[in-house]
Amino acid sequence: MKTYNKSWKQKVEHKISNDWTSFSNPMSLKIEEDNSSTIFISASLEFTNLHKREIDKKQQGSLYYKILVNDQELVEYHVIDPSNDRKHSDVSLHAVSQIPAGENTIEVFYKVSKNSSWELLGNQSKRHLSVLSFPQS
């Protein structure tokens, strides 16, 4: 078993996107495997310094996240209306995949709904991506 980890503490500093895109400082991890392997992926995005009073009830829209392995989507996560007090919690995504030997890329992308009117992403300054790899026999 191998473990790969990467963390980001920089604030997300770009405009919101209605199309799938990487973060301004991409949430991406390259891993090298000698054999084809089964991998378990965990991605977390923490909303930091966010107080309920800072979320304007007029702000609307949804956040979407997805995990890709070698440009293939594995899982998508949808946060409906984060202005709802119960919905602006941290985000955690998990996935399992098979990868070939050699270099592989694991990425997290995001987008917001077309009617989105807020900059909530700017509060996601703590992000983490972990991969556990188990070689296939």
Residue 96 near residue 30 (C-beta atoms within 8 A) = no
51 Cβ contact partners less than 8 Å away, ≥ 6 residues apart: none
State the pLDDT at residue 16.
73
Express each pLDDT in 26-82 by its tens digit: 899 999 999 999 999 999 987 665 555 555 555 567 788 999 999 999 999 887 765
Report DSSP state, residue 59: -
Average pLDDT over residues 18-23: 86
Band of residue 8 on the pLDDT scale cut at 50, 70, 90: confident
**Containing structural domain, residue 82:** 2-135
Q: What is the pTM of this model?
A: 0.82
The DSSP secondary structure of 68-105, one letter per residue, reads EETTEEEEEEEE--TTSTTT-S-EEEEEEEEE-SEEEE
CATH number, domain of 62, equals 2.60.120.760
Express each pLDDT in 98-129 by its tens digit: 999 999 999 999 888 877 655 555 556 688 99
Number of domains in the chain: 1
